[in-house]
Amino acid sequence: MNNFLVHDEKTKKEMLDVIGINSIEDLFKQIPAQARMSNLNLNDALSEMETQRQVRALAKKNKTEYVSFLGGGVYNKFIPACISQVAQRFEFLTAYTPYQPEISQGTLQVMYEFQTMICELTGMDISNATVYDAATACAEAILMAVRISKKSKALVSNRLNPEYKSVVKTYAWASDIELEWFDEIPANTADYACVLIQNPDYYGEITEIPPVDTLLIIATDVSSLSILKPPAQYGADIVVGDVQGLGIPMEFGGPHAGFIACREKFMRQMPGRLAGRTVDADGNQAFCLTIQTREQHIKREKATSNICSNQALIGLCATLYLSLMGKKGFYQAGYLSTKKAHELSEKLAAKGIKTLNKNFFNEFVIEVADADKFLSRLKENNILGGIKIDDTHILVAVTEMTTDEDIELYIANV
């Protein structure tokens, strides 16, 4: 019942002899003694069975039965059960770079289908096969616009998700790009590489976006496109977003995958993987990476991006979700999210709690006397009531997973 130790004392001695030292301690001689921990104060080792029992006991202390009204980029969405069953098949749980066409046709086809679905939702001509997350996608889209326009200034909305802002600032600083932040789009934007707007924005507001005389980048909530018109229809040149709402669990704020989609004329400036469909020597359908070679992504400063991987497995989950839900199911989930969000807003208004949004999809901001007290009272009743924006404002999100009983429980405890 004891733990399995991969190296016994004899094996350790043989390894030390090969590298010419007398003890494992000799491996750490170059590290000053004051920089090392002399005593970690660990308990005695446990067997595997004892460890499992202790972990289960600790897990029982977790509170998992909260009703969630959290949002801000991570949402409690319905996830069909078969997604995990398919995604966990060994054919998809492959090595780090599953792009070799001779052995990875399944993965490459999923990437191709993912791109096709993103294009259909956004109205764009071409999409990549994921990037790390929406924050990365926003930053990479600005870099893409700078390369296209040869201009070094970008306009970015103040109503962008704070996490996206942070990543955008870092990328811009490292690339000598000047960022200007706005509440309303300036009348003249011709001197800028692009305008980046989140729609619906971080506070849930759906915005009517006027024409701009530069590249327009839209950061979108993909789930909102179940009922809102595609960004291409109101002038977007590049569309970015996150697919967490497409069959990906919330789990500690992730995992995530982002995407970048654009008009065809910009495709050679788009970072990330691109899968294409062709035919092989026998005339059979075949899939492979296209437009760019894999080496293009590891050419350091000459690459269009520093992205050396993608989120293929997360993209698979999103593809499975959209396939299983279909157009009707996807629309129904979006419709229910909107309907229930507006119901909660109306019920809060009846209790004197003001919603600041005029138009929203499934997320809105409420004004309260004391945000900390408001959220603490809800949490005491197993309700995660939203995200605190400041002392008097809270961002509340509702999805198709929110029941009528959840809404009544929220109202009863405010």
Tokens of 48: 């595997």
The pair of structure tokens assigned to 198 is 């989140």
CATH of 82-319, one of 3.40.640.10, 3.40.50.261, 3.40.109.10, 3.40.50.360: 3.40.640.10
Q: In the prediction, which pLDDT does 34 show?
A: 85
Output helix, strand, coil percentages for the chain, rounded to the nearest 5: 40, 15, 45
Ramachandran area for residue 25 (φ above 0: left; ψ -120 to 50: alpha; else beta): alpha
What length is written for the chain?
414
Residue by residue, pLDDT tens for the chain (414 residues) are 455 667 888 999 999 999 999 998 898 888 998 888 877 888 888 888 999 999 999 999 988 889 999 999 999 999 999 999 998 888 787 655 666 777 788 889 999 999 999 999 999 999 999 999 999 999 999 999 999 999 999 999 999 999 999 999 999 999 999 999 999 999 999 999 999 999 999 999 999 999 999 999 999 999 999 999 999 999 999 999 999 999 999 886 567 899 999 999 999 899 888 899 999 889 999 998 887 655 555 566 666 665 656 688 899 999 999 999 999 999 999 999 999 999 999 999 999 999 999 999 999 999 999 999 999 999 999 999 999 999 999 999 999 999 999 999 999 999
What is the predicted pLDDT for the residue at 88?
87
What pLDDT score does 292 carry? 64
The side-by-side arrangement of strands in the sheet containing 215-221 is 126-127, 258-262, 238-242, 215-221, 194-198, 153-157, 178-182
Domain with CATH 3.90.1150.10 in the chain: 67-77+327-412
Using CA atoms, how far apart are residues 377 and 385, in angstroms rounded to an integer? Answer: 9
95-102 contact pairs (CB < 8 A, 24+): 96/309, 97/294, 97/309, 98/312, 99/273, 99/289, 99/294, 101/286, 101/287, 101/288, 101/289
**DSSP bridge pairs for 279:** 285
Which residue is associated with the tokens 């970072």? 271
Q: Looking at the chain, which residues constitute the CATH 3.40.640.10 domain(s)?
A: 82-319
pLDDT of residue 3: 57
User: Is-contact 182 144, C-beta < 8 A?
Assistant: no
What is the model's pLDDT at position 200? 97
* Nearest alpha carbon to residue 406 among 40, 16, 144, 68: 68
Q: What is the pTM of this model?
A: 0.87
Dump the DSSP string for 96-136: S-TT-TTT-HHHHHHHHHHHHHHHHHH--SEE-S-BS-HHH
* CATH class assigned to 67-77+327-412: alpha beta
- Give SS3 for 275: strand
In angstroms, rounded to a whole number, what is the distance separating the alpha carbons of residues 200 and 177?
A: 25
